[in-house]
Amino acid sequence: MSSVIAPNASKLALLGGTKVGEVTYSKFPVFSDRAIERVVEVLRAGKAIGLGRFHSPEIEEAELTISRYHGGREVLAVGSGHAALQCALAGLEICNGDEVITTPYTWGASISCILHQNAIPVFVDVEADTGVIDPAQIEAAITPRTKAILAVHIFGQPANLQKLRAIADKHGLALIEDGSQAHGAEIGGVKVGNVGDAAGFSCMGGKVLPTTEAGYLVTPSKDVFWKAAMIGQHMGRSPEKDFPNEL
């Protein structure tokens, strides 16, 4: 609660003066009774709530549900939105010295995931009226080391995916979406997450689709999916015969 000066008060509330009132906040996230019951059921059953070799049916159910929502794309459940984005970069083989064009107006995960791949974030400013990355400024930032564009859909506002896709295709770049603040949003009738070569979503407690802490990757590419799985689920699900010694 913030302490403020009450009308006609001579002393700040934090110094012992009269408070104007109490500031209250809405409860969020709100979980249904059934959601809570399902968590308790899993805990009481003593089942592994994990990934990889310990892949639980609940995780598989979530992946399949999200996949259906995204038109059958590959979905990889991971521990956070940051992990989802880093898996996307790894699956697209973004690594040492590669440049990734992105926005500075974001949550830090969309930048730190690039740094964790030993790649270099290159910032392009946002549109003044939307807060998302400005496609008109991207081409000037492209160099021979540029490998991808990472667009952040901010506060539910999708980036201009049609223009970004056209720029990426023109220059042979990967397009990655950060949909952590825009679950369910659409632009031009297309769902966020369904345009990029890969997309990462966060499901931490403050997001539109909240859990406690989780994330997932969406991609149309089985190749990207399995390479991401080797990072995101510790090789427990990866078809090693298809990617011998890939890591």
User: Which of the residues are catalytic?
Assistant: 207
Element housing 212 (H / E): none
List C-alpha distances in Å: 122 to 33, 98, 145, 152. 45, 10, 11, 14
CB 115 within 8 A of CB 121: yes
Residue linked to tokens 């968590």: 39
Q: In what order do the strands lie in the sheet with 215-219?
A: 74-78, 215-219, 198-202, 174-178, 146-152, 99-102, 120-123
- For residues 135 and 173, what is the distance between their CA atoms, to the nearest angstrom? 14
Distance CA 60, CA 55 (A): 7
Structure tokens at 153: 């859909």
Rg of the chain, C-alpha, whole Å: 21
Angle among Cα 95, 143, 111 to the nearest 5 degrees reads 45
What sign results for the dihedral spanned by CA atoms 81, 87, 89, 95? positive
Instruction: Compute the C-alpha angle 194/200/203, nearest 5°.
Output: 115
Count, in order, helices (H) and strands (E) of the chain. 6, 9
User: 3-state DSSP call for residue 152?
Assistant: strand
